[in-house]
Amino acid sequence: MERNLNTCNNCGNESDQPLCQPCATRLANDLNTLRSNLPALREEASRRSTVVRREHGGGSRSVAPIPLNMGAFQLVHDIDEFAGMLGRALNLNYNRHMPSESLLKAASQRIPALASRKDIAHLMHVARRYAHQSVMTLTPPEDRRMVGLCPTCERELWCTDTEIAGQWIVCRCGETLKVTDVQEQHLLTCALAENENTQGTASAVSKLLLANGIKVRRQTIAQWKNRGILVPCGWDSGKPVYRVWAVWKCIVRNS
């Protein structure tokens, strides 16, 4: 599509620059928000749970604590990728060791160089989304938890416990979603993405699931075991160890 020379590439308002002043300011602000939130996000992403992972077959066992806050972990990864992409777009002598903070800062000072790119509207959309997610992750709403992403519009879905208990939620894009479907998808793309055999003691599994917005008490897991609904896959220092996926299946078995 030909650009009309007198309009902003992002909002379409009249502008003698590729980006109008409000849009240019907004992009610079969002990039600055990302840069200033990154250190705290990294800290949040580095919190680990003690859930153990076991490799397939051979009985070989590797213990690799996995991130407690998968949302933060994923977001840091996404922002790093985004910063690297901006660095390459701006030919910023990009190298692997240049921290994202430096790349974001440099980009925020070179808005005119980004403004005439064909994909500037998309870049602005991504910067806005990550900036919003970074704020939500660092100062989560007290009464809500992130249950997963909307499959249609990829928005993060933050729900109250009441909404979660209601089993169905409506995304702002209009999509009606079953809470457990969203949670299951989130669990698969985050906590279990690298190893579906992720397992841990009742308290470790409970902690991991809670960090992913799924509430199940340690005692409930023990009761399932006592009733024969859930079978431990092993033992760790005398405590039963369960597969996270098996516990999830117990949670949703009646829904």
Q: Is 170 an interacting residue with respect to Zn ion (CB under 5 A)?
A: no
CA distance readout (Å), 162 to 72, 168, 179: 24, 10, 12
Among 27, 120, 124, 150, binds Zn ion (CB under 5 A): 150
114 interacts with Zn ion by CB under 5 A: no
Of 173, 193, 231, 233, which lies in the binding site for Zn ion, with binding defined by CB under 5 A? 173
* Closer to Zn ion by Cβ: residue 153 or 252: 153
We find the least distance from the C-beta atom of residue 137 to Zn ion, in angstroms, to be 19
Asked if residue 157 binds Zn ion (CB under 5 A), the reply is no
Diameter of the chain by CA atoms? 72
DSSP-derived letter for residue 1 is -
Among 63, 64, 135, 153, binds Zn ion (CB under 5 A): 153
**CA–CA–CA angle 172, 176, 177 (5° rounding):** 105
Q: Which of residues 11-50 bind Zn ion (CB under 5 A)?
A: 11, 20, 23
Closest CB 218 distance from Zn ion, rounded Å: 33
Concatenated DSSP letters for 211-246? Answer: HTT----HHHHHHHHHTTSS--SEEETTEEEEEHHH
Q: Rounded CA gap, 177 and 140, in Å?
A: 22
Comparing CB distances to Zn ion, the nearer of 48 and 125 is: 125
- Which of 8, 70, 187, 241 forms a contact with Zn ion (CB under 5 A)? 8
Radius of gyration of the chain (CA): 22
Among 175, 181, 196, 236, binds Zn ion (CB under 5 A): 175
Q: In this complex, which beta carbon is closest to Zn ion, that of residue 78 or of residue 175?
A: 175
By the 8 A CB rule, do 153 and 171 touch? Answer: yes
Site for Zn ion contains 236 (CB under 5 A) = no
Q: Is 171 in the site for Zn ion (CB under 5 A)?
A: yes
Q: Which stretch binds Zn ion (CB under 5 A): 2-10, 161-169, 193-201, 240-248?
A: 2-10
| Minimum CB distance to Zn ion smaller for 98 or for 113 | 113
Segment near Zn ion (CB under 5 A); pick from 29-37, 49-57, 67-75, 167-175: 167-175
- CA–CA dist 225, 180 (Å, integer): 22
Where do we find the tokens 């397992």? 199
Instruction: Count other C-beta atoms under 10 Å from residue 221's C-beta.
Output: 25
Binding site residues, Zn ion, CB under 5 A: 8, 10-11, 20, 23, 150, 152-153, 155, 171, 173, 175
